[in-house]
Copies of this chain bind each other. A is one copy, B any other.
Amino acid sequence: MALRDLETPTLVLDRQTLEQNTARMTRRFAGTGVRLRPHMKTSKSIQVARLALAGNFGGITVSTLKEAEYFAEHGITDITYAVSIMPDKLGRVIALKRRGVRISIITDQVAIAEQVSSIAASEGVVLDTFIELDSGERRAGVLADSDELGVLGLALEELPGTQLEGVLTHAGHSYQGRSLSQIQAIAESERLCATTAADRLRSIGLVVPVVSVGSTPTATHGLSYEGVNEVRCGVYMFGDVFQSEINSCRPEDIALSVLATVIGHRRDLDTALIDAGALALSKDRSTGAAGLPEDVGYGLVLDATGTRRIDGVQVGHVYQEHGMLVSETPFPFEMLPVGSRVRILPNHACMTAAMHPGYHVVDGADDTAMRDWPRINGW
């Protein structure tokens, strides 16, 4: 099997680019005292995890318990489940712990810490728990300078069934950064949030083993990680058009694409249709956000080899199973005959990958050794 044998739409992953991306981030933190705990929420694949873990300490971050269970089944034994824990999900956490997985959970609510404590204690386990901090994303987390921080830290330390593992924050607002200096400033505020919180907890006598930050932009561009000892990031492995537009990667670093077929020409409308619509690409329109250099619609269009951009052409609209190619200049019908193929680079790799059950993996332009890597979707 090679790419030409595949039916479309389908998801293609370039292993060479992926490996360059994972190696680059691994090198960035090697020997710095900061451990890289790659976030597997983008790829949800054990084969990708193995590349991301090469040269690192072996721990990962996940966004669902289904990921945690899948990666544990495949031998990963150090996992942070980085979404606010709810008591009804503890059964699965405790089951993983009993299987020998070093699993950590996160919370930003004292009432939840108390419920976790009660359940864990009754089950006879102690759960390593991070305090989630809000370093500026304004989503979840406590503020580093809030009174809640100490209350939550003391609760986790003193309650049975929980143990304070550290502080953790995600500067998701780095996606709003529009220049290198803005992203560097956000990275610094992420670091200061985490180190300030750790210092405040230590000042009241608590042990704070892990000070964890991370997002792909701040992991890529931060100038200092002093006081931090763990970085979590995920989308750097695949890259996407949005990340390239905010300079977290170069366009040629994007490892993920959707292979699609041109299924129709509309010469009267100067458009063409492909068989990759909203269900193959997702409806993520992040490249339409303010301040970005280029709105590529629902994806950037390359030729079938994935190496050359079709200038001026983008996926202008998506329907459930149709994508409409539009062009800034007269549509290049001769370059894209009906039946020909294109590769669409996604706006947002996490969303596009999630629309597919797995990856067809090639090595750059060489698809002679193509193989399939599954993903673990769902919850």
Interface residues of A (CB under 8 A from B): 7-10, 41, 63-64, 83-84, 86-89, 108-109, 111-112, 115, 138-140, 143, 172, 261, 263-266, 268-269, 273, 275, 278-280, 282-285, 317, 319-322, 324, 338-339, 350-351, 354-357, 377-379
Contacts and interface: CB of A to CB of B under 8 A. Distances in A.
B108 A264 contact: yes
Contacts of A109: 264-265, 338
Given A263-B86, A339-B87, A319 B273 contact: no
A273 B84 contact: yes
14 contacts: A83-B275, A84-B264, A109-B338, A112-B338, A138-B266, A139-B273, A139-B317, A139-B324, A143-B268, A172-B319, A278-B351, A282-B282, A283-B285, A357-B378
A115 B261 CA distance: 15
Closest CB pairs A-B (n = 8): A84-B263, A283-B283, A63-B321, A83-B321, A140-B264, A283-B284, A84-B264, A279-B354
Nearest to A65: B7
How many copies make up the complex?
Answer: 2
Given A139-B322, A140-B322, A351 B263 contact: no
Given A63-B320, A283-B284, A269 B378 contact: no
Given A83-B321, A338-B112, A354-B279, A379 B64 contact: no
Given A278-B351, A279-B354, 4 more contacts: A7-B88, A9-B379, A109-B264, A356-B378
A140 B321 contact: no
Nearest to A89: B7
Contacts of A285: 283, 285
A8 to B, nearest CB: 8
Contacts of A356: 378
Contacts of A282: 282-283
A372 to B, nearest CB: 13
Given A84-B273, A338-B111, A350 B320 contact: yes
Given A278-B351, A338-B112, A83 B322 contact: yes
Nearest to A83: B321
Given A285-B283, A351-B278, A269 B138 contact: yes
Nearest to A355: B354
Given A283-B285, A338-B111, A354-B279, A86 B320 contact: no
A86 B261 contact: yes
A115 B339 CA distance: 11
Contacts of A355: 354
A377 B268 CA distance: 33
Among A143, A275, A357: residue with most chain B CB under 10 A:
A275
Contacts of A143: 268
Contacts of A379: 7-10, 280
